[in-house]
Structures are given as C-alpha cells and as structure tokens.
Amino acid sequence: MKKGLFIVIEGTDGTGKSTHARLLTEYLQAKGFDTVLTQEPTKGPIGQAIRTVLSGETKVSPTALALMFTADRADHVDSVIKPALEDGKAVISDRYFYSTIAYQSAQGVDEKWLAQLNSFAPEPDVVIVLEVPADQALSRINDRKKEVFESIDFQRKVQNNLLKIAEERVKLTNRGKAWKVISNSGSQEEVQRRIREFVNLSIPKPPPGRL
C-alpha cells in the first residue's frame, strides 16, 4: 500500500481536539500535503446512531456501544482512511480506536477485548493525546448540552486510561509509532505550536516542487 501520513488527535471531551485537528490540517496543507480531515464517530449512518446514544436520546449497553463504535470505524477505515493513505494523502483524525478503549473500558468493558476487536484498524504514524484537567475541559463545553459521558469523574477515568495507553505505546518503539502527550495549557497558539513541532519530527518531506 502506498503509504500517506496518518495522524490521530485524542483526548477527553473539551480538550480542543477538533480545533487542533483543523489547525494542524491547515498547517500541513500549507506545507504542500494533500490532506483529509476526518473524525469519529463519523457522519455516516452508524455514526449518527452513535450520536443518539451519546446525547441520551437512546440507550444501549456498554458492550453494544463498543460494537457500534467499531462498526462505524470499520466503515471509516474502508471508505476514508485506507483510500486516502493509498493515495499518499495526510489523514488527520479527530479520535480513533483509542477512544473506544479508553471510554468503554471506563464503562467496565474488558480492555483486552476492545483492543482485539479493533485490531483490524491500521496504526497511525503519529498520535497526540491532549491533556487538560477534567473540570477545565468540561467548563469549555458549558455552552451546549452535555453528553452522557461528560461528567468530571467519568472524564477523569477516561483521561487516566488514555494516558496509560500512551505510556504503553511509547514503550513499543519497535513498532515505529510516535506518541506524545501534550498539555493543553496556555494559549491556542502555544498548544498548536507544540503539536506542530512534534509532528514535524515524523512527517516525510513535502512532494517535489511544493513548499
């Protein structure tokens, strides 16, 4: 497979993932990369069904929700991520399967089962975990209705899970994957600068003739 560049930005709710994924996409575009900005859950039919669960409109068990996220991801990988990477594009995803492991294991689902369930998903080249205290993160989303997972205690569990995953992945140096936990303290510009500095260590040279 002709390999592009696959970057994932993770974090709990309210950490600024979507904003920084967009800013990073614009930065890579300016450097000459053909980019695809995407997110999970997706805007597809399964992703829309997931959003009704997250909003509290419908209810399913934690295991069923994990399967829904994974089904949405399977479609996401086949229809968006793999084709873009095969075309040599840079894919920036706001969340990936690490969120499923972190969130659903916080709900009590077996972590090893969740990891095995998502073993089909290609590993990213760069994963950035944005870290911010749960109370600060949730204060940023007070202008909209909170979703079912957006409580301080639950978000703390999720953040601990994400940090544990990051620590474990950093140790797997033989896989050649780049992981970084970046504090979202400071201005938006400062945080984005930290992200770009780290990404620059892993990105290939821009296409010939392009800046």
What's the pLDDT at 208?
A: 46
pLDDT band of 153, cuts 50, 70, 90:
confident
What topology is assigned to 5-200 in CATH? Answer: Rossmann fold (3.40.50)
Domain ranges of the chain: 5-200
107-142: pLDDT as tens digits? 999 999 999 999 999 999 999 999 987 667 666 665
Q: What is the 3-state secondary structure (H, E, C) of 117-172?
A: HCCCCCCCCEEEEEECCHHHHHHCCCCCCCCCCCCHHHHHHHHHHHHHHHHHHHHC
Q: What is the pTM of this model?
A: 0.89
Query: To which residue do tokens 């992200």 refer?
Result: 195
What's the pLDDT at 202?
A: 78
What's the pLDDT at 146?
A: 59
**DSSP letters for the chain:** ----EEEEEEESTTS-HHHHHHHHHHHHHHTT--EEEEESS-SSHHHHHHHHHHTTSS---HHHHHHHHHHHHHHHIIIIIHHHHHTT-EEEEE--HHHHHHHHHHTT--HHHHHHHTTTSPPPSEEEEEE--HHHHHHTTTTS---TT-SHHHHHHHHHHHHHHHHHHHH-GGGT-EEEEEE--S-HHHHHHHHHHHHHTTPPPPPTT--
What's the pLDDT at 142?
A: 59
Q: For residue 141, how many C-alpha atoms fall within 13 Å in the half-sphere facing its CB? A: 19
155-176: pLDDT as tens digits? 899 999 999 999 888 877 554 4
Question: Considering the chain, what is the average pLDDT of its residues?
Answer: 88
